Chain A
Amino acid sequence: MKIIKKDDLDSFVDYLIGSDPREVVGVKERGSKYAFDKLKSSKELRLDYDVTILPPKKYLLPQRETLLKFKSNDKIKTEPVNEVNGRIIVGVHPYDLIAIEQMDRIFSEEPEDPNYLKKREATVLIGVNMKNTSERCFAGSMKTAFTQDGYDLMLTDLGGKYAVEIGTEKGKELLKKSGVALADAGEEDKKMIEEKKRSLTFESKINFEPSDLPELMKSNYDNDKFWEENADNCYSCGTCNLVCPTCYCFDVKDLMEVTLKEGSRIRQWDGCLLEHFAEVAGGENFREERAQRYRHRYMRKGLYLHNRFEDIACVGCGRCSSQCVPDIADPAEIFNKLKEGKI
């Protein structure tokens, strides 16, 4: 573990912005909230943020990305496209790093998805431990408030200086190349990190072990009354899907230029809460009821993806609950109610 002074960290970030060929993005203020966006200067970087509007998945699985391009002359030519843009992402919280690790497993499962994997390969993740937590974040009880892996570099604010944990060779090289001044961390620094971690508090939590979730969800699949009551105010808007760091479902569609000579096949974020998600061409909809779609999302988070990858696919970031207009999408509240047998 290394120690870097606050000023030197700023210089390091400015060096990356100025000298590294990759795009440097980080957490910036946006109105009264925070968002990952392109950095022009280290001054814009807010490592004390609580949560960003969207998770950094937008860089690895963009809202909309091109898969193929078409060109039509005599015959239509189709070319594969993979818009890989090397990128350094600064200030990723542990729960988002854990979500990215889950996405890595999903997209590297056979058949591999090169559009995700190439972007992932070209990405450097500089994490930061949480200094502030958002009102709805329950990462503490989900065991996602800290992580030992999934980052290239990991920062912890120690007041005037940062601890730097080196996760990968890629991270180590980045520091070395920049020539930034680093000191070795002493016992005091390590103690201070532990102290910072211990003092991190969360206003929201689940009241049981996250490893109990798969069984809990399984035993409540047929709890129709629960799902119907809780989905009663759901707008089927899909916001909870869009802001979720582990939601990755997508739609594939074609777009044509006005000339009709060129076009592209794209994929874009989709959401299982949206009414037509499970509909087929003939009009049959296999999750027609709002409660079925609402349940599906929680089942994906707590059970289905666990069955497939052994991951609990809710990392407790609290984005879904804070951005849900009728405020019915708080996983901590839903999981706790299920555990307590309430409606």
Chain B
Amino acid sequence: MNKTPYLPEDATILKITPMTERETLFEIELENGNTLGHQPGQFVEVSVPGVGEAPISISSSPTKDGNSFELCVRAVGNVTNILHGLKEGDNIGIRGPYGTGFPVDELKGKDVLFIAGGLGIAPLRSFINYALDKRDEFANVKILYGCREPCELLYEEEIDGWKERDDIEYLETVDRCPEGVCWEGNIGVITTLIPGIDIDLENTYAVICGPPIMYKFVLMELDKKNIPDERIILSLERHMKCGLGKCGHCQINGSNAEYYVCQDGPVFNYADIKGFEEAL
């Protein structure tokens, strides 16, 4: 009880990689030299003393080489905007990892269909790279990734690598392409990619992350594909202030159960939150 769970670990920003106008990838290492010890899908509270804390999902797989981990951060609030002004070598604080990760063990031997919308690729990448590093442990791997415009696509170089692999299927789309921008890929919202894919109904898990509006339509498409709710996994965004299941900000409720997203999530099985008015 003496050690306060509110005290962040000291950490250093090793590398900063700007990705789009709004998103930057931060490679971070704890100063004590330990690995973060996370599961794909977990999150950390990133602390900038004097500014505050923000919950950010971990974007790297625990299978990544070295002790560091990565966070893909959109500049959208106080903490994230300040983060974007920091330099390599600067210090920040890290609490966590918190929450449930993706059920990687449950999905072993299964076909995995990843569906990412926008910044949703950030948490999903922790699992995608895990599955790619342990490729033998999973059956077919398909990745669908959609953004609003080509300039918003994240991890472009890494994704070029995914495109070249013949042991996974990768499909991408943009909602629209402004005039004068070169784009040879698909144009249309992410749901337009779903009807065309082959799914082994007995063996497929869909793992989704994206903005709330995307869930609504993706879930409708998956329903048309007859994927059972129990085999749909999703990750929810909330503003967890404490990460300890206490502050109340991330609580979601239905008439039958309630969850603290920071402890019971952020990863949920769709069957457990289906119909929850406050979930999606």
What is the minimal beta-carbon distance from A249 to any residue of chain B, in angstroms? Answer: 3
**How many residue pairs bridge A and B at CB < 8 Å?**
127
* Chain A contacts for B277, CB-based, 8 A: 292
B188: CB under 8 A from chain A?
no
B7 engages A251 (CB within 8 Å): no
* Chain B contacts for A218, CB-based, 8 A: 255-256
Interface string of B64-77 (1 = CB under 8 A from A): 00000000001011
B220: CB under 8 A from chain A?
no
Asked, given contacts A80-B4, A112-B1, A299-B253, whether A253 binds B49 with beta carbons under 8 Å apart, the answer is no
- Interface range on chain B: under 10, 10 to 19, 20 to 34, or 35 or more? 35 or more
How far, in whole Å, are A277 and B249 apart by their CA atoms in the complex?
6
A278 engages B249 (CB within 8 Å): yes
Interface with B: A114-122, A125-133, A138-146, A191-199, which one?
A114-122
Partner of B278, one of A114, A249, A281, A292: A292
Given contacts A252-B53, A254-B52, 10 further A-B pairs with CB under 8 A are A68-B6, A68-B49, A72-B50, A113-B244, A221-B253, A254-B49, A270-B247, A281-B239, A286-B278, A292-B277
Interface string of A261-288 (1 = CB under 8 A from B): 0010101001010000111111010110
* Chain A contacts for B47, CB-based, 8 A: 265
Partner of A256, one of B6, B10, B50: B50
* Chain B positions near chain A (C-beta within 8 angstroms): 1-8, 10, 47, 49-54, 74, 76-77, 80, 91, 93, 211-212, 237-239, 241-242, 244-249, 251-258, 277-279
What is the minimal beta-carbon distance from B48 to any residue of chain A, in angstroms? Answer: 8
Closest residue on chain A to residue B243 by CB atoms: A111
How far, in whole Å, are A296 and B278 apart by their CA atoms in the complex?
10
Asked, given contacts A78-B8, A254-B51, whether A281 binds B80 with beta carbons under 8 Å apart, the answer is yes
Asked, given contacts A252-B53, A263-B49, A287-B278, whether A114 binds B247 with beta carbons under 8 Å apart, the answer is no
* Chain B contacts for A258, CB-based, 8 A: none
In the complex, 27 of the A-B residue pairs with CB atoms within 8 angstroms, ordered by the A residue number, are A70-B49, A72-B49, A76-B49, A80-B4, A80-B7, A106-B246, A115-B4, A218-B256, A221-B253, A221-B255, A250-B246, A251-B241, A251-B247, A260-B50, A265-B53, A267-B247, A270-B247, A277-B248, A277-B249, A278-B238, A281-B77, A282-B74, A282-B237, A284-B237, A287-B278, A307-B257, A307-B258
B52 engages A118 (CB within 8 Å): no
A282 engages B252 (CB within 8 Å): no
**A-B pairs with the 7 shortest C-beta distances?**
A249-B248, A221-B255, A281-B77, A70-B49, A80-B4, A263-B50, A67-B6
What is the minimal beta-carbon distance from B8 to any residue of chain A, in angstroms? Answer: 7
* Chain B contacts for A340, CB-based, 8 A: none
A75: CB under 8 A from chain B?
yes
A76 engages B91 (CB within 8 Å): yes
A250 engages B1 (CB within 8 Å): no
What is the minimal beta-carbon distance from B125 to any residue of chain A, in angstroms? Answer: 19
How far, in whole Å, are A251 and B74 apart by their CA atoms in the complex?
22
Partner of B1, one of A114, A270, A278: A114
- Among A70, A279, A281: residue with most chain B CB under 10 A: A281
B2 engages A114 (CB within 8 Å): yes
